[in-house]
Amino acid sequence: MILVFGSLNVDLVAQVPVIPGPGRTVLAPSYQTHFGGKGANQAVAAARIAGPGQVRMAGRVGRDGFGDSAIENLRENGVDTAFVVRGDEPTGCAFITVDQSGENAITVASGANMAASAADLPAEPFGPDTVLVLQMEVPFAEALEAARRTTLSCGTVIWNLAPVPETMTRTMVTELLAVTDYLLVNEHEALDAAAAVGIAPSDYEAAAAALARAGDLTCVVTAGAQGALAVAADGTRLRAPAPRITPVDTTGAGDTFVGAFTAMLSEKVPLQTALQVGCEAAAQKCLTPGAQAGMPMRGAISSLA
């Protein structure tokens, strides 16, 4: 069973002629509503590959309309929402303005996500077959506790170190590495994590190798058009190429990789296959605007044909 503990957001997106500066107001003809939050994105991506009933989402939303919509969206995508708690805080929301050149400005109101608690999780979902997926959009201490519970139950922990906190410390990274089986990062996140523990690698591949050794884990780096790289603690390397595409919107591509990769690991397929499926799913997502809209279903993945 895949258990995703993380954030759930509703994104409000407005197209504007220019992003307003301090004290300025601009008018937009309308706005679009999208579902987001890295946790919810990864749960949807995993469910579309693993199938209905194979993914559980844990986190918090408010007792408001956005919370209703976020839960219903997960259910429509085959995600079990029994562990999504309704609280007094408002549902997380991102306010996004996009100008005519494609530049954007984003304000995220974390809301209920900052009240997410590992204590909300009963003992029932933890066991040897549990694959726990974590990110960095809920309180770190709570994610760490969920990871420790998974480790104690002999489950598998996949930690996507994104977004990298501005105040990330050596202690945080050391604690994270100690309870993680698969660390998923992009090139920049790999370098930031290595720097936090006092390592100054020459490139992201060296950073991945250093993190894998430090945590006795497998570090997976997603590198956009360059595909994905996995480095084991013993230095073994695997690579998967990215399909050649002309991207329309890369939003959510990283979350799509995480979800598809997790779905494959839960099925105990070879790591090389998990990398290939992750790369193909992420590439397909980039052909459609929006974070979740383009996340592919299992039947669309040629690597699984």
Q: How far is the C-alpha of 225 from the C-alpha of 243, rounded, in Å?
A: 8
Confirm whether residue 288 is marked as ligand binding.
yes
**Is 37 annotated as ligand-binding?**
yes
The annotation status of 268 as a binding-site residue, yes or no, is no
Judge whether 260 is annotated as a binding position. Answer: no
- Enter the tokens of residue 27: 């008018």
103 is in an annotated binding site: no
Say whether 102 counts as a known binding-site residue: no
CA 216, CA 228: separation in Å to the nearest integer? 19
Question: Does the annotation place 73 within a ligand binding site?
Answer: no
Beta bridge partners of 159: 134, 183
Name residue 3's beta-bridge partners.
56, 132
299 is in an annotated binding site: no
Q: Is 181 a catalytic residue?
A: no
150 appears as a binding residue in the annotation: no
Amino acid at residue number 113: N
Q: Binding site annotation covers 80?
A: no
Question: Is 175 annotated to bind ligand?
Answer: no
- Count of CB atoms situated within 10 Å of the CB of 123: 8
Please identify which of the residues 68, 120, 203, 255 carries the catalytic annotation: 255
Q: Under 8 Å CB-to-CB from 301, ≥6 apart: which residues?
A: 49, 260, 277, 280, 281, 284
14 is in an annotated binding site: no
| Residue 36 marked as a ligand binder | no
Which residues are annotated as part of the binding site? 9-11, 37-41, 137, 186, 222-227, 249, 251, 254-255, 285, 288, 290
Catalytic residues: 255
Annotated binding site for ATP: 186, 222-227, 254-255
Binding-site residues for substrate, in ranges, read 9-11, 37-41, 137, 255
Residues in the annotated binding site for K(+) = 249, 251, 285, 288, 290
